[in-house]
Amino acid sequence: MKKYMLITVGTGRYREDIAKAILISINDKNPDRVIFFCTDKSKEETIPFIEKDYKNFEVVILKDENDLESIKQKCDEVIEKLKIEDAYIVVDYTSGTKAMSAGIILSAIENEVNYISYIAGIRDESGRVIPGTERILSFPPNRIYRKRFYREGIRYFNNYMFESAKKIFENVSELTSEKDSILKKANLLIKLCDAYSNWDLFNHKEALEILKNLSEEEETLLAGWSVRSKVEKHKELLYKISSSQFSVEMALDLFKNAERRFSEGRYDDCVARLYRLLEYIIQFRMAEKDLYVRSDNIFDTSKIDLSRIPDHLKDRYSKPAGLEASAELLKELNDDTGIEICNSEELKGLLSARNSSILAHGFIPIKKKTAEDFLSLMGDFIRKLQVSKFEDMYKKFEFLQIRDVL
C-alpha cells in the first residue's frame, strides 16, 4: 500500500518558513509521494524552496484560492482516485488560505482518509509559527465523528441489528481515548450486542452469562439509561428458559422473536418461528399431560408413551409423533388446545400458505397479511396456555431500547 501525502501550499512574506514547516511534516510522515495543492503564485514562490530538499511530488493547481466549493471538488477528485488504488492517505492543511485548508479538510473527512495532520507551535504577532517551535499534530478524521457513529450504533441496536451495531461500537472504541466517557459506554454496548444477538438466535445460556457478568460500573451505566431493572428481568427470563424443557417463557420468546422478524419485513422468517411456536404449544400440552416417553426427566418429543393413552389409540400413535399427529391425539383426549388447533379453518389456511412457500414445499413468498394473521392467531393460542397477567409478562420480553443523547 503506497502512502500519499496531500498538502495545501500557501505563500507570503515567510514562504521559506512555510516550506520548512511543510518539509518537517513530510519528513515526519515519510510518504512515498506528495501531492501539493497550489495556486499559480504558491507554485512559483513556495515550491522552489521545497524542491531543494524534496523532489518526489506533483502539483495540482487551484484556480481560485478562495473558492471553497471548487477547492473541495478538486481535492475530492484526487482523493477518490487514490482510494481506488487503495492508497494510504495523509492530509496536511497547515499552509494555504482558509478556503484551501477548509476545502481539503472537508474532503478528507468525507472521503475517510487515514490521517489529518497539521503543524502547531508558538506564533509571533503576525500569526506565523516561530521556527524551532513546530510540533506535528495528527488524528484520524473518523475520531471527529465518533459521537455520530455512537448514535448510529444505538439506532442499529434499537432495531435489532446487533452485529452491525457491534461493529460500529468497536469502531467507536478504537477511535476513543481512555479518558473519554464514550469509551466505557461503547464497550458496554458491545457486550449488550453480544448478549441480545445470542438471545435473538435462541442462545439463551450464552446471553445469560454475558448479562450476569456485567461489572458494577456497567450496571451503573445501565441505571443511567433507565434499563437496569429491565436487564434484571431479562436475566430472570433467560434463566427460566434455559433451565426447563417447556415453559410459558419459551413460548412467549418464540412469539416475540417472530414479532421482531415481522417488524423487519422478514415475513418468511416470522412464519417459520410461528410454525415452531405452534409445534411448541402442542408439545407443551403433551408434556403437561405426561404423554411423552421420558429419559432422565427429559421428554422425548418424538415418542408417545403408549402406556398413557387409551388402548384403542395405541396402534394409531405408535409411530413418531409429528405436529399433526400430536394435535390429533390431544383432540382425541378432549384437550381444548388440541381441539381448537385441529378445528381452526383459519390455521389450516395459514399452514397451506406456509407449505407453499420456500419454508416447506414451494417458492411462493409469504405475504405480509399472512404473517400478520398468523401472529394474531398464535397470540390467541398462547393466551390459552393460561398465562396469568399475559400483557405484563409479554412486555417483559421486549428488548432494550437505549436512549442516550450525547
Residue 297: pLDDT band by 50, 70, 90 thresholds? confident
Q: Is the predicted pLDDT of residue 406 greater than 90, yes or no?
A: no
309-341 pLDDT per residue, tens: 999 999 998 888 889 999 999 999 999 999 999
Task: Count how many domains the chain has.
Answer: 3
80 and 202 part of one domain: no
368 and 302 part of one domain: yes
The reply to whether 406 falls in a domain is no
368 and 276 part of one domain: yes
Residue 202 falls in which region: left (phi positive, over 0), alpha (psi -120 to 50) or beta: left
> In 10 A of CB 74, how many CB atoms?
19
Among the listed residues 272, 276, 236, 284, the one whose alpha carbon sits nearest the alpha carbon of residue 385: 284
Is residue 56 within 8 A of residue 33, CB to CB? The reply is yes
The reply to whether 8 falls in a domain is yes
21 and 156 part of one domain: no
Please calculate the CA angle 303-306-308 and round it to the nearest 5 degrees.
110
Quote the percentage of the chain above a pLDDT of 70. Answer: 97
174 and 98 part of one domain: no
The reply to whether 239 falls in a domain is no
Cα(130)–Cα(120) distance, integer angstroms: 10
364 and 304 part of one domain: yes
The reply to whether 92 falls in a domain is yes
Decide which of 230, 259, 282 is a domain's last residue: 230
Decide which of 202, 230, 258 is a domain's last residue: 230
309 and 377 part of one domain: yes
Instruction: Return phi, psi of residue 258, to 5°.
Output: -65, -40
pTM over cut 0.85 = no
152-179 pLDDT per residue, tens: 999 999 999 999 999 999 999 988 877 7
Measured CA distances, 339 to 81, 182, 259, 381 (Å): 69, 56, 26, 12
The reply to whether 238 falls in a domain is no
- What CATH number corresponds to the domain at position 33? 3.40.50.10770
The reply to whether 68 falls in a domain is yes
47: containing domain: 3-139
Decide which of 93, 120, 139 is a domain's last residue: 139
What letter would DSSP give residue 35? E
| Burial class of residue 260 in the structure, from the number of CB atoms within 10 Å of its CB (0-12 exposed, 13-18 middle, 19+ buried) | middle
254 and 158 part of one domain: no
Q: What integer pLDDT is reported at residue 270 of this predicted model?
A: 97
For the segment 379-398, the average pLDDT, to the nearest whole number, is 80
285 and 372 part of one domain: yes
255 and 388 part of one domain: yes
Cα(2)–Cα(149) distance, integer angstroms: 28
The reply to whether 75 falls in a domain is yes
The reply to whether 320 falls in a domain is yes
Residue 128: pLDDT band by 50, 70, 90 thresholds? low
Which is more confident, 351 or 123? 351
Among the listed residues 257, 290, 21, 308, the one whose alpha carbon sits nearest the alpha carbon of residue 137: 21
Which amino acid, one-letter code, is at 400? L
Q: Is the predicted pLDDT of residue 100 greater than 90, yes or no?
A: yes
Q: What integer pLDDT is reported at residue 124 of this predicted model?
A: 72
- 86: cell is 487503495
